[in-house]
Structure 1
Amino acid sequence: MGPTSIAVLGGGLTGLSAAFYLTRRFPTARIAVYNSEARFGGWVRSDRVRVSYTNHHNGKLENADVVLEAGPRTLRPNARSVLELIHLLNLSSTLLTVPKTSDAAKNRFLYIPEFGELCRLPSAPLDFLTWSGPSRQNIRRLLLSSVAREPFKRRNRRLGLDDESVDDFMTRRFGSEWSRIFASSLVHGIYAADARRLSLRSAFPSLWEAEERGNGSVVSGILRRSPPLTSDEEPASSYELGNLADTMRDVSVYTLREGISTLTNALVRYLREHPNVYMYGGVRITGLRINPRSKHFELITTAMETAFPTHVVSTLPLFRLHGVLTPAISLPHLTANTYTSVTVVNLVFPRPPPSTAPLHPEGFGYLVPRPTDGYFNDNNRLGILGCVFDSSSTATQDSSDAVVKMTVMLGGPYASRSLPQINVSDLLSELSTHLGRTLPEPVLVKVHHNQHCIPLYSVGHLQRMEELRHVLASEPWAGRMEVIGAGVGGVSVGDCIEAGRNAGRFWS
């Protein structure tokens, strides 16, 4: 007999996706979604705002509507779970795509303080032949020497090792300088974390598998054909994609006309219209226990009432779930990982006249690697992790091309003690140094402090989550509660939606 009453804890992207798919899987079950904030959507937040600027052609004050993102801003087309949701929610007409041939797709940069300028990363082998300048020569030397030598390195994974940090892995195969510059930058861009603390197998499992496939060489493993799908992976045909697979064929990244919140807003509308779904915004979970007689869950909330669901899906951050469980039914490893905090600063500038230099090079944006002497120094006192040139990839969201959008990410490993206090003048000065040009006064600045927004998977995370699943499958849980979401496996939009898509699939 399937579940009759399901509680979904958390109304972010994972929770909303879980509720959506649960309504399709169990159409007669009562489904209640509890979210501590009145606004559903979690870290996904898109805002359309109006800005005023001086038109450099006629000197008049004009207005423009622009879309700003406080969380994820673009999506990659390889996540079938996202495409399926877009298709099922009838959002295909709102897609805005960036082709692989565009500058936003081809041009990605690093700002390496010791080189003192933005360095474009190669997007094709021929790029190596056209590079000039001392910093580019240094990048080319480091890339070529590290990558070209790696296949000839002996196998050097310690016998019995089943996980290690991203930095240890990259240093072992490519060298410490390569790891500090390239691996730390990549980790800053995705996890806003210290690569020396992040689990390689949890964050980048394909690299671990490539080393095994390449008999000790990562490069050789990547060049070899990937093995066939495992029993845990679904074929593309199992996703309802409509014609989106064809739409995405030559796409680098994409977004939606009103931002990524289009997805979460559409999910909320769908769920509110579903007769068996109850949405509780601004209601926090304060206690969760299991009745030993009925075996039903008892869910205590700030709404001063107790719910008795037969099944539960928790998408809460693991440390928050730990805080609501009674000691009698505690779960292992919920506090094993820390969560990083990121400050997001949206900047909107008037576009300079065509006769002057642009505010940034055409491209997706840039990342900043870990400083040579660690995070607690004056080399990156603002803690800038990177900057996205939104106007290169998402300008079509806006009503005018007379403004320039950028988004700066700060904090992460720099914010272990406290989030930075944003001084806009200092931030503009630092960005001007990175970009090699003086930025004007912005017409709009929006600051979002996203506290504890990204889990930091420490070494051994996969094994710990397997142990957690084993406990949930046994008494007193008996498989009637699932713990999913970014804290368990995968922080991307695709990972979160995929987790929601699979919620309750083994309940019967």
Structure 2
Amino acid sequence: MPPKHIAILGGGLTGLSSAFHLSRRFPSSTITIIDKNKRLGGWASSTERVQLPGGRGSVILEGGPRTLRPASNSVLELIHLLGLSDAVMPTLKSSPAAKKRFLHVPGTPGIYEIPSPGIRYLWNPLRFFITPGVSFDFVRGWNRPEGVLDESLESFLTRRGHPMTARVLGSALVHGIYAADSRLLSVRAAFPKLWELEEKGNGRILWGLLTRSREAKEAERQKEEEDRKRYELGDVMRLMDGVSVYSFRDGMGTLPDALTRSIAKNPNVRILSDTEITALRFGEENGFEITTQRTNPIFPSHIVSALPLPVLNKIIPESHPLPYLTTNPYSSVTSINLVFPTAKIYPPGFGYLVCRPEDDYVADDGGILGVTFDSSALPAQDALTPGERITKVTVMMGGPHRAPDTALPVVLAHLQYHLNRRKPLPAPLVTRTWQHRNCIPTPLPGHLERMGKLKEALGGSGWDGRMEVVGAGVGGVSVGDCVESGKTVGMGW
């Protein structure tokens, strides 16, 4: 028997995806979405088009995620079902933005191109940081301590390779995805493929990668094709031919906005935005009671929580606590969009990441995690007056840098140093600062086991499987992960 009334707590991408798919799976069920913000979509909705001064045209500014990868079938399915194909803006694999990504190592001016395998590697300055890790991985055999079921990414890369490689490459990668400290992040939760390759290669990661048999590769391909049948993709896959990453003509906010419009048309769905939840209690007849600061109590039979786990912890009944809701820390991120009145301030490419300083996170290191070269990656998003030339970048700050200095002169000085420019950068035409508090969870080692126990508790007495907890705090943090969790929620109802 389908649920009578489903309440979805949180209207970010996970909550919107949940509402969209649940309304299709249970067309007779009442669905209520509750979110404290006026605009749904979470930090994926941090998008706006602004007019440049002097009649130069307009640009898209993004404060949250700015591109998607074609590998996420769940997002491609939404593009098809929501009719967004014409809005897709691709970055082709042949473009410099797809081929070239850079790294800044604190203490050295300039940025280094991250090398691909080949003869040019021998002249790349980053080889001094990469080669020790690769060499030690080949030399060392199996060295995972007995009984170790998980560890931090930094611990893993140091154990298999070299501390310098782990600090420079590992920390930069984690800065770009999780805005977190790689010494804290669970390798199994964040990068499960590394754990699997170590086992397949009897300790050696690269050996595990290089020795995959033709049969194993074919089996993986067939599995991907079989998995793709779970999605309604239409002809969207055709759009992804030769695409490295993509976005939308009017930015990433296009996706949550289209989801909101589609859901709002369903007469069985009620959207309560600008509404903060104050408590969740057990109600009568195996139901729940949800109170808010603005509406009458809501009495759902089932609940999907897409809230950050610490927020959920504050509203559940004390009589039925749930484990591990406050275990993982969350990172806060500041994004600063800068639009310069010049054609070029950086080399062609996607952008650069900044690794952890050798002397750890210190007060005067700028607090920059990475910089995206937006004008290079998605130039067609901007509607410029003919003949106008601008350069648009986004500076990502915060995370393990507890108190980044976001003052514009300080940010510009650090950019000048990173890009190894002799002259100061010109004054920006437009700046936009976005503050995202506690927006990305950091799964600590042991996360997978803890989430398994959380799921067991939700199936236990009182909850009885009538509430599911999903989202970035439980699974992956990418847009694709969040949309996928919404697609699969409530399968057992």
2: distance between equivalents of 1:80 and 1:123?
A: 27
Deviations, residues 288-309 of structure 1 (Å, cap 9, x unaligned) = 1112x51101111112411110
2: distance between equivalents of 1:343 and 1:176?
A: 29
Q: Confirm or deny: 8 A CA contact 1:107 1:123 kept in the other structure.
A: no
- Secondary structure of the equivalent of 2:401? helix
Name which of 332, 344, 352 aligns with 1:366: 352
Rate the CA distance shift 1:478–1:27 in 2: closer, same or farther, 3 A: same
- 1:35 maps to 35
1: distance between equivalents of 2:110 and 2:320?
A: 54
- 2:274 maps to 282
Matched, 1:300 2:260: no
Matched to 1:312, the amino acid is I
- 1:500 maps to 486
Matched, 1:74 2:36: no
Q: Confirm or deny: 8 A CA contact 2:451 2:474 kept in the other structure.
A: yes
Structure 1 residue 198, shift from structure 2 partner? 0.7
2: distance between equivalents of 1:141 and 1:112?
A: 12
Q: Confirm or deny: 8 A CA contact 1:289 1:298 kept in the other structure.
A: yes
- Secondary structure of the equivalent of 1:104? helix
Q: Which runs of 5+ in 2 are unaligned?
A: none
Q: Confirm or deny: 8 A CA contact 1:198 1:458 kept in the other structure.
A: yes
Name which of 468, 472, 482 aligns with 2:468: 482
Structure 1 residue 421, shift from structure 2 partner? 4.5
Q: Confirm or deny: 8 A CA contact 2:313 2:322 kept in the other structure.
A: yes
Structure 1 residue 231, shift from structure 2 partner? 10
TM-score, normalising length from structure 2? 0.95
Matched to 2:318, the amino acid is P
Structure 1 residue 237, shift from structure 2 partner? 1.5
- 2:390 maps to 403
1: distance between equivalents of 2:225 and 2:332?
A: 32
2: distance between equivalents of 1:29 and 1:219?
A: 50
Structure 1 residue 428, shift from structure 2 partner? 0.5
Q: Confirm or deny: 8 A CA contact 1:35 1:280 kept in the other structure.
A: yes
Rate the CA distance shift 1:231–1:122 in 2: closer, same or farther, 3 A: closer
- 2:335 maps to 344
Deviations, residues 71-128 of structure 1 (Å, cap 9, x unaligned) = 0001111111111111110101111111111100011000112332210011342431
Q: Describe how 1:454-469 pairs up with structure 2 within 5 A.
A: 454-469=440-455
Matched to 2:163, the amino acid is S
- 1:7 maps to 7
Matched to 1:424, the amino acid is L
Q: Confirm or deny: 8 A CA contact 1:198 1:457 kept in the other structure.
A: yes
- 2:312 maps to 321
1: distance between equivalents of 2:120 and 2:92?
A: 19
Structure 1 residue 489, shift from structure 2 partner? 0.8
Matched, 1:472 2:458: yes
- 2:261 maps to 269
- 1:115 maps to 108
Structure 1 residue 173, shift from structure 2 partner? 0.9
Deviations, residues 142-177 of structure 1 (Å, cap 9, x unaligned) = 323422441331111011110000100011111100
2: distance between equivalents of 1:91 and 1:409?
A: 28
- 2:179 maps to 192
- 1:385 maps to 369
TM-score, normalising length from structure 1? 0.92
- 2:428 maps to 442
Give runs of ≥4 in structure 1 deviating > 4 Å: 225-234
Rate the CA distance shift 1:165–1:332 in 2: closer, same or farther, 3 A: same
- Secondary structure of the equivalent of 1:182? helix
Percent pairwise identity: 46
- Secondary structure of the equivalent of 1:235? helix
2: distance between equivalents of 1:141 and 1:455?
A: 32
- Secondary structure of the equivalent of 2:319? helix
- Secondary structure of the equivalent of 1:184? helix
- Secondary structure of the equivalent of 1:238? coil
Q: Confirm or deny: 8 A CA contact 1:106 1:123 kept in the other structure.
A: no
Q: Which runs of 5+ in 1 are unaligned?
A: 53-60, 353-357
- 1:18 maps to 18
Aligned length: 482
Structure 1 residue 62, shift from structure 2 partner? 2.9
Rate the CA distance shift 1:266–1:304 in 2: closer, same or farther, 3 A: closer
- 1:56 maps to none
Q: Confirm or deny: 8 A CA contact 2:136 2:162 kept in the other structure.
A: no
Deviations, residues 406-446 of structure 1 (Å, cap 9, x unaligned) = 0000110012xxx5352101110110111112311000111
2: distance between equivalents of 1:62 and 1:284?
A: 41
Rate the CA distance shift 1:240–1:441 in 2: closer, same or farther, 3 A: same
- 1:55 maps to none
- 1:94 maps to 87
Structure 1 residue 257, shift from structure 2 partner? 0.4
1: distance between equivalents of 2:279 and 2:129?
A: 53
Q: CA RMSD in A?
A: 1.7
Matched, 1:431 2:415: yes
Deviations, residues 298-330 of structure 1 (Å, cap 9, x unaligned) = 111112411110100000000000000110121
- Secondary structure of the equivalent of 2:42? coil
- Secondary structure of the equivalent of 2:383? coil
2: distance between equivalents of 1:124 and 1:65?
A: 39
1: distance between equivalents of 2:89 and 2:277?
A: 37
- 1:49 maps to 50
1: distance between equivalents of 2:408 and 2:128?
A: 36
- Secondary structure of the equivalent of 1:340? strand
2: distance between equivalents of 1:233 and 1:41?
A: 30
Q: Confirm or deny: 8 A CA contact 1:314 1:484 kept in the other structure.
A: yes
Rate the CA distance shift 1:159–1:153 in 2: closer, same or farther, 3 A: same
Q: Describe how 1:93-172 pairs up with structure 2 within 5 A.
A: 93-129=86-122, 131=123, 136-137=124-125, 139-172=126-159
Matched, 1:258 2:244: no
